[in-house]
Amino acid sequence: MDAPKETGLRKVTSVASIPEMDDFDLTKLLDKPRLTIKRERSFDERSLSEMSISRGLDNLELGYSPGGRSGLDTPASSTRNSFEPHPMVAEAWESLRRSLVHFRGQPVGTIAAYDHASEEVLNYDQVFVRDFVPSALAFLMNGEPDIVKNFLLKTLQLQGWEKRVDKFRLGEGAMPASFKVLHDPERKTDTIVADFGESAIGRVAPVDSGFWWIILLRAYTKSTGDLTLAETPDCQKGMRLILTLCLSEGFDTFPTLLCADGCSMIDRRMGIYGYPIEIQALFFMALRCSLAMMKLDTEGKEFVERIMKRLHALSFHMRSYFWLDFQQLNDIYRYKTEEYSHTAVNKFNVIPDSIPDWVFDFMPTRGGYFVGNVSPARMDFRWFALGNCVAILSSLATPEQASAIMDLFEERWEELVGEMPIKICYPAIESHEWRIITGCDPKNTRWSYHNGGTWPVLLWLLTAACIKTGRPQIARRAIELAESRLLKDGWPEYYDGKLGRYIGKQARKYQTWSIAGYLVAKMMLEDPSHLGMISLEDDRQLRPIIKRSSSF
Ligand code: GLC
């Protein structure tokens, strides 16, 4: 776990390239081809409209793509101005490097938390796939792609393992939630143990891991310009295996993905079973990333067709039925129930009495969001930050919806951000509801942990969403809040309380993704062209035909 000392800071000058420009419109900046990048081959989103099955990966559109910075010959930050980086940046890099995990001498990931003060290590000494994403982005943005490549290859190998819970075998494509490297100093050997859900609390397999893996493969490819990794038969097969798990036909009547509770970042019972927004948004993004990377050989072509069909259905479903704003809420409030046949307006038979009181007060006239879950007679009206930010980044949200989500952040700043960015979901569930929904989970009491707790890692997603929607001032405000406490508090995993003011009851310190999330947010704000790694442009082919409500 020794971290090379000299790396990192040299290339990173933080703060400052967008200093006092509160009204500065980054989207305009992104539209302009500022960088001249020499690339061997370009790598960009395959638009559905441009897709023709006969084309190969090599023939993808050449030239500059807005925000699609390549790491090829663009030094990380050397052209930036000479402002001093925030002192926290250097500390953050040092802590991030301390969390590196090596396998046979090669860095392959970062541990979840480096908290020696904590008595219980639990599984925080493991490399979690989802936790590694912000670390990976930080390394890519800093021109250090090797660790990301090693991680992608190592987890791909783990995918090949046989996975069982008791006597039951999991799907071939499942990716681990986490893995651990065991060093044997005597024999001088390293071995890996992985967890696909069979050791996890509650025994739930992570649905998000495979999606993050695909998204990271694209980020790596986009950032380095190196198409060879994604093109290897192993990576192509890995992608196909992940997608096979999600694209198989069954009894589904919706294009969304049916999930067990606890299958994502929220990895314990929190009432997100069904069709949680976090998974649907990641699913959409992973499908679009795969579309860009899938080789058009015989097997690939078949997948591309299935992906395209699913994307159409999924975007229609999400944009129509998950979207909530003032107008839509009012419509649901007036819904008739028990409608039968194709003419039904209230397709899922949502009973207006099931709308919780809080949402009427919470909903501003300006703004909107994707609700937590939609299934028969059940709409979970809660706000979930990760799903909404990923919806913006993947362009699952139309540009109008994306800006309505940012409006919501502004209108409901106290509730969604408060004193520390940002709440994982809103509002918290309490009392009887908490008992029933969480199964009396003492870790998920109101305004703590997954139940309305505040997770600094989400800062990078918020920042990326802000840049994409041309609202960097919102990100800057959030980053300032984080800077006032994060380092001083020892980079906690989460904060508690309505305003996120208290360090979480059982929060680890030196939580790696809190550290990496901050670095990624800083680097993106400093150089918005980094956004291209984790953002996909709006695809006209996926635009909705219907116009339903005021903020569309
Ligand atoms: C907790 C979080 C999960 C995270 C893990 C490691 O279990 O709920 O999202 O991956 O800790 O940090």
Nearest Cα residue to atom 12 of ligand 1: 112
Instruction: Name the percent of the chain lying above pLDDT 70.
Output: 82
Q: pLDDT band at 9, cuts 50/70/90?
A: very low
For residue 40, pLDDT beyond 60: no
The reported pLDDT for the residue numbered 199 is 85
The reported pLDDT for the residue numbered 363 is 98
The reported pLDDT for the residue numbered 53 is 37
Query: For the ranges 21-35, 149-163, 436-450, 454-468, which has the lowest average pLDDT?
Result: 21-35
Nearest Cα residue to atom 9 of ligand 1: 265
Q: Please compute, for residue 530, the number of CA atoms within 13 A of its CA located in the half-sphere on the CB side.
A: 27
Query: For the ranges 119-133, 179-193, 346-360, which has the lowest average pLDDT?
Result: 119-133
- To the nearest 10 degrees (0 to 180), the angle between helices 512-526 and 472-485 is 140
Mean pLDDT of the region 163-186: 93
Q: How does the average pLDDT of the chain come out, rounded?
A: 86
The reported pLDDT for the residue numbered 11 is 40
Query: For the ranges 28-42, 285-299, 371-385, which has the lowest average pLDDT?
Result: 28-42
d(CA 48, CA 312): 10
For residue 31, pLDDT beyond 70: no
The reported pLDDT for the residue numbered 119 is 63
Which one is predicted more confidently, 238 or 199? Answer: 238
| C-beta of 112 in contact with ligand 1 (< 6 A) | yes
The reported pLDDT for the residue numbered 46 is 53
Nearest Cα residue to atom 4 of ligand 1: 265
| C-beta of 131 in contact with ligand 1 (< 6 A) | yes
Instruction: Name the percent of the chain lying above pLDDT 90.
Output: 76
For residue 400, pLDDT beyond 70: yes
Q: pLDDT band at 55, cuts 50/70/90?
A: very low
| C-beta of 177 in contact with ligand 1 (< 6 A) | no
Q: How far is the CA of 267 from the centre of ligand 1 (A)?
A: 7
d(CA 413, CA 410): 5
Among 114, 130, 180, say which to mutate for ligand 1: greatest number of ligand atoms within 8 Å of CB: 130
Among 123, 126, 207, 265, say which to mutate for ligand 1: greatest number of ligand atoms within 8 Å of CB: 265
Tokens 């993808």 appear where?
60
pTM score of the predicted model: 0.87
Tokens 């663009």 appear where?
74
Q: For the segment 498-525, what is each residue's pLDDT rounded down to a tens digit?
A: 999 999 999 999 999 999 999 999 999 9
Q: How far is the CA of 246 from the centre of ligand 1 (A)?
A: 23
Q: How far is the CA of 177 from the centre of ligand 1 (A)?
A: 9
Atom of ligand 1 at shortest range from CA of 512:
12
Mean pLDDT of the region 237-251: 95
The reported pLDDT for the residue numbered 541 is 73
Mean pLDDT of the region 357-368: 98
Q: For the segment 74-94, what is each residue's pLDDT rounded down to a tens digit?
A: 334 433 444 578 999 999 999
User: Residue 328 has which token pair?
Assistant: 């839509």
| C-beta of 311 in contact with ligand 1 (< 6 A) | no
Nearest Cα residue to atom 7 of ligand 1: 267
The reported pLDDT for the residue numbered 202 is 83
Which one is predicted more confidently, 518 or 167? Answer: 518
For residue 181, pLDDT beyond 80: yes
Q: pLDDT band at 15, cuts 50/70/90?
A: very low
The reported pLDDT for the residue numbered 29 is 32
User: Residue 443 has which token pair?
Assistant: 């870790």
Closest CA to 72 of 520, 529, 517: 529
Which one is predicted more confidently, 551 or 136? Answer: 136
Q: How far is the CA of 372 from the centre of ligand 1 (A)?
A: 19
Nearest Cα residue to atom 3 of ligand 1: 265
| C-beta of 115 in contact with ligand 1 (< 6 A) | no
Atom of ligand 1 at shortest range from CA of 450:
8
Cis amide prior to 427 (ω within 30 degrees): yes
Query: For the ranges 58-67, 164-173, 328-337, which has the lowest average pLDDT?
Result: 58-67
Q: pLDDT band at 201, cuts 50/70/90?
A: confident
The reported pLDDT for the residue numbered 48 is 52
CB 271 within 8 A of CB 437: yes
The reported pLDDT for the residue numbered 200 is 82
The reported pLDDT for the residue numbered 198 is 85
Q: pLDDT band at 337, cuts 50/70/90?
A: very high
Helix, strand, coil abundance in the chain, percent, nearest 5: 45, 10, 45
User: Residue 391 has which token pair?
Assistant: 């919806």
Mean pLDDT of the region 175-199: 94
For residue 33, pLDDT beyond 60: no
CB 200 within 8 A of CB 260: no
Q: For the segment 117-158, what is each residue's pLDDT rounded down to a tens digit?
A: 666 666 789 999 999 999 999 999 999 999 999 999 999 999
Q: How far is the CA of 514 from the centre of ligand 1 (A)?
A: 11
d(CA 520, CA 93): 11
Atom of ligand 1 at shortest range from CA of 131:
10
Atom of ligand 1 at shortest range from CA of 123:
6
Closest CA to 457 of 394, 384, 512, 522: 512
Tokens 């999600």 appear where?
246
d(CA 464, CA 402): 12
Q: How far is the CA of 125 from the centre of ligand 1 (A)?
A: 11
For residue 62, pLDDT beyond 80: no
Buried (b) or exposed (e) across 81-103, using 16+ Cβ within 10 A? eeeebbebbeebbebbbbbbbbb
